[in-house]
Amino acid sequence: MSIRKSVAVLAVVTVAGALGFGACGSGAESADGVTELSIYIDSDPSSIALWDPLVESFNSSHEDIRISYETHPSGSEGDNLIKTRLSTGDMNDLFWYNSGSLLKALSPDSMLVDLSDQDWAGKVDDNWVQAASTDNGMYGLPVGASFSFGMIYNKDVYAELGLETPESWDEFMSNNEKIAAAGITPVVQTYSDTWTSQVMVLGDAANVLAADPDWADNYTANKAKYAAEPAFAGFQHLQDIYDAGYLNDDFASATYDDGVRMLAEGAAAHYPMLTSNVSAAIGENYPDADASLGVFAIPAEDAANTTLTIGTPNGMYIPKTTQGEKLEAAYELLDWLATPEACTVMGSAITVGGPFVIDGCELPATATSLVEDMTPYYDADNTGLALEFLSPIKGPSLEQITVQVGSGISTAVEGAALYDQDVEKQAQQLGLEGW
Amino acid sequence: MAATTVSTASRGAADNAPRAGAEKRRGRGLDKYYPLYFHLPAALFFVILFLVPTLASFYFALTRWTLFDMEFIGLDNFAQFFKEPSLVKGFANTFIYAFVTSGAKVVLGLALAVLLTSQVFGRNYLRSVVFFPVLVSTIGVGVTWKVLLDPQDGLVNRALAVVGIDGPGWLTDPGLALFSVAGVDVWKGVGLATVIYISGIVAIPHEYVEAAKVDGAGAWQIFKNITLPLCRPATVTVIILSLIGGLRSFDLIWTMTRGGPGFSSDVIASVIYKQYQAGFYGLSTAGNVVLFLVIAVIVIPLNMWLNRKGNRS
């Protein structure tokens, strides 16, 4: 009996102990005048490849601050971890995270330190300011390069068949017809990785804004819908390429890696994709294919509206829980990250898929030739931010809906209507006015 | 075989005798049970890890909760959840999945158990083979089968190609995906059903079978009139376990199809998980409350009904 009693007592003590002390842990004191800073980043190989040299370079040039990073899974698991840590006051000293709608889901006004008074704030691109700000402040420093949502294409195929880069959707489809006739897959889609299915819709955003400059504001205010033109075109185009039979045979089970491989090997001509991802893949796996791959803006119905959709990089954010000397050290780290020196480190660490968004940072020589194709759009001021950087609303089910439309399970009309419902839910959850 | 039967039967008889005596000895009311503090550790775990979160979830289901702030919105989440376009599909899929897997496990489990209690060559080896998939992690099973069922490079379709069959896209055909996952679920779970049935069949007194044989009953008549009715408790257990498992199934579906293509293999649990992923914490909690109630409404009466029938027979 006494043994049983003590087992019971032990169990109680263990549980109480686990509950009581589990929450404690972090809180490194600064010893010998060195301030330690911990940064929360995602665990993608390309993120690690970027941060390892940044950490090393910063630590070797600063004696009184030591930075290190901690990783979290990418995607929505990571989003939830970030939110949990912020809301429980358990966030690292700084964190590296998306700009745009995902940032705005973090309640930046109450959770993050306003950085608009920093010296570097005047040097960042206007697009960045828009993607990292609320009405009350600007919350991040861009770390990494911008990118575009474009149509990646194989230049060798184009040269062989004597094709020209299309300006309008009709030109694009007639190119596809010739490509198919030559026995090459016109468009790759990779629905095993569902996120890749969204690019046709998301990459049409700048075209929509060219047709209707107020569209993003109206959309946020519940006055513009995907079921109506001009935004409906994105869904229609997905259906068009499926109906015409221009997709690879294994579109339903192919992965993102398969898509890049088919494009690099010339087995396929087009892949709607982000230049940052393709550049990283070229840098790691297909350096020989670099000269063969180019990018053009996803064509609009009307050639006059064809505009390159771009996205801003991740940013560095400081939670309000970082205070005192840690905050001072964090400011110093941001100052360094805004210098051309840091951009050089970034440029040599990863294969960038677009220009940097801080003044004074030059495009590195190692950038893929994809990026050169983007330059004319920038020079002609023919770029526009993707919708997720202009509006806080992005429906969570878009990738399932675009898979449905893109693989013929539902029509473009049904898909767009379904997405409008999805968007409504998101807006209501965000507590936006007018929904 | 005979030895096991006798020992199980006699153990059952021996169990009953001292229990009757013990009840007399321990007195009335609460006194006749073990002392209360025996329950304390278990009760503590139950309250902290089950009761508190359950009650909290009933409250959070009524709020719009972003982790940063919380707003009480009454039953709006439930209204929203029932408007969810994928929910109708999710409900239908959940029931299809639960009944298909549950039914298949009963039929296959019983068939395998009959086979594995007969004098079949390599019986013990076969028993472990059947039970083996139960031991493997569900995620591992899902990932493995996803590779095996790949329409182009998967082993299954390559094997079919050898005999001239053009295999379908098991996980990419919207009409087929749910059933492919259900098939893998049965493959993984039938071992447990078999083990439950084996113990049920083994517990049937051998005298009944011998008497039937003397009366000239064939194998089918023995199965129909002796084995099937007498292993009813095993059937009840298998149905209840696999139905609950099927209704809240998530891990296998998530690893193999993520509810796709599109929404075609979404079940209630994956619809709920997607709300959580999207950061709609109140909404997904409301979904969990709904799932909790649905399972309770189905399983509790079913359990009572099956047990009552079982006791009567």
Alpha-carbon span B256 to B265, nearest angstrom: 10
Nearest Cα residue in chain A from B170: A253
Cβ burial of B187 (10 Å; 0-12, 13-18, 19+) is: middle
Alpha carbon B89 to its chain centroid, in Å, reads: 21
Alpha carbon A302 to its chain centroid, in Å, reads: 27
Mean of the per-residue pLDDT values of chain A:
88
Tell me the chain A residues in contact with residue B38 when contact means C-beta distances shorter than 8 Å: 4, 8
Query: At A35, is the pLDDT very low, low, confident or very high (cuts 50, 70, 90)?
Result: very high
Q: Tell me, what DSSP letter sits at residue B137?
A: -
Does residue B237 carry a pLDDT above 60? yes
Alpha-carbon span A398 to A390, nearest angstrom: 17
- The more confident residue out of A95 and A396 is A95
- Mutation target vs A (from B46, B68, B89, B150; most A CBs, 10 A cutoff): B68
Cβ contact, residue pair A407, B262, below 8 Å: yes
Alpha-carbon span B61 to B234, nearest angstrom: 37
Work out the average pLDDT over A297-302: 94
Query: At A21, is the pLDDT very low, low, confident or very high (cuts 50, 70, 90)?
Result: very low
The residues pairing with A97 across neighbouring beta strands, listed in sequence order, are A315
Work out the average pLDDT over A401-430: 91
Nearest Cα residue in chain B from A77: B277
Residue A353 has what pLDDT? 86
Task: Show the DSSP H helices in B248-280 as ranges.
Answer: 251-256, 268-277
Residue A25 has what pLDDT? 38
Residue A24 has what pLDDT? 40
Does residue A160 carry a pLDDT above 70? yes
Nearest Cα residue in chain A from B154: A253
State how far residue B163 is from chain A, nearest Cα, in angstroms. Answer: 22
Top-confidence range, A235-249, B51-65, B238-252? A235-249
Task: Show the DSSP H helices in chain B as ranges.
Answer: 2-26, 40-46, 52-60, 76-83, 85-117, 123-135, 138-148, 155-162, 177-202, 206-214, 219-222, 228-230, 232-247, 251-256, 268-277, 281-312
Work out the average pLDDT over B260-277: 88
Cβ contact, residue pair B264, A409, below 8 Å: yes
Q: What percent of chain B has pLDDT over 90?
A: 35
Q: What is the pLDDT of residues B179-199, one digit of tens each?
A: 999 999 999 999 999 999 999
Nearest Cα residue in chain B from A393: B278
Alpha-carbon span B126 to A345, nearest angstrom: 60
Cβ contact, residue pair A80, B71, below 8 Å: no
Residue B268 has what pLDDT? 87
Query: At A17, is the pLDDT very low, low, confident or very high (cuts 50, 70, 90)?
Result: very low
| Residues listed for chain A | 435
- Mutation target vs B (from A388, A402, A425, A430; most B CBs, 10 A cutoff): A425
Q: What is the pLDDT of residues A108-147, one digit of tens each?
A: 999 999 999 999 999 898 889 989 998 899 999 999 889 9
Residue A20 has what pLDDT? 43
**How big is the CA angle at A329 (ends A328 and A330), to the nearest 5 degrees?**
90
**How big is the CA angle at B199 (ends B194 and B203), to the nearest 5 degrees?**
145
Q: What is the pLDDT of residues A209-231, one digit of tens each?
A: 999 999 999 999 999 999 998 99
> Residue A11 is encoded by which pair of tokens?
């169990």
Cβ contact, residue pair B263, A428, below 8 Å: no
User: Number of C-alpha atoms within 13 angstroms, CB side, residue B48?
Assistant: 12
Q: Tell me, what DSSP letter sits at residue B73?
A: -
Work out the average pLDDT over A275-304: 90
Alpha-carbon span A424 to A432, nearest angstrom: 10
Cβ contact, residue pair B85, A425, below 8 Å: no
The residues pairing with A71 across neighbouring beta strands, listed in sequence order, are A41
Alpha-carbon span A402 to A410, nearest angstrom: 9
Q: What is the pLDDT of residues B200-212, one digit of tens each?
A: 999 999 899 899 9
Mean of the per-residue pLDDT values of chain B:
84
Collapsing DSSP states into helix, strand and coil, what is residue B1?
coil
Does residue A26 carry a pLDDT above 60? no
Q: How many CB atoms lie within 10 A of CB A367?
A: 23
Query: At B5, is the pLDDT very low, low, confident or very high (cuts 50, 70, 90)?
Result: very low
Residue B307 has what pLDDT? 77
Cβ contact, residue pair A111, B169, below 8 Å: no
> Residue B11 is encoded by which pair of tokens?
């153990």
Q: What is the pLDDT of residues B217-234, one digit of tens each?
A: 888 999 999 989 998 889
The answer to whether ipTM exceeds 0.90 is no
Matching residue, tokens 């509206």: A305
Q: Would you call A380 an interface residue with chain B, using a CB distance cutoff of 8 Å?
A: no
Q: How many CB atoms lie within 10 A of CB A206?
A: 26
Nearest Cα residue in chain B from A430: B66
Cβ contact, residue pair B69, A107, below 8 Å: yes
Q: What percent of chain A has pLDDT over 70?
A: 93
Q: Tell me, what DSSP letter sits at residue B227?
A: I
Q: What is the pLDDT of residues B9-28, one digit of tens each?
A: 444 444 444 444 444 555 56
- Name the residue among B41, B44, B261 with its Cβ closest to that of A191: B261
> Residue B94 is encoded by which pair of tokens?
């959940």
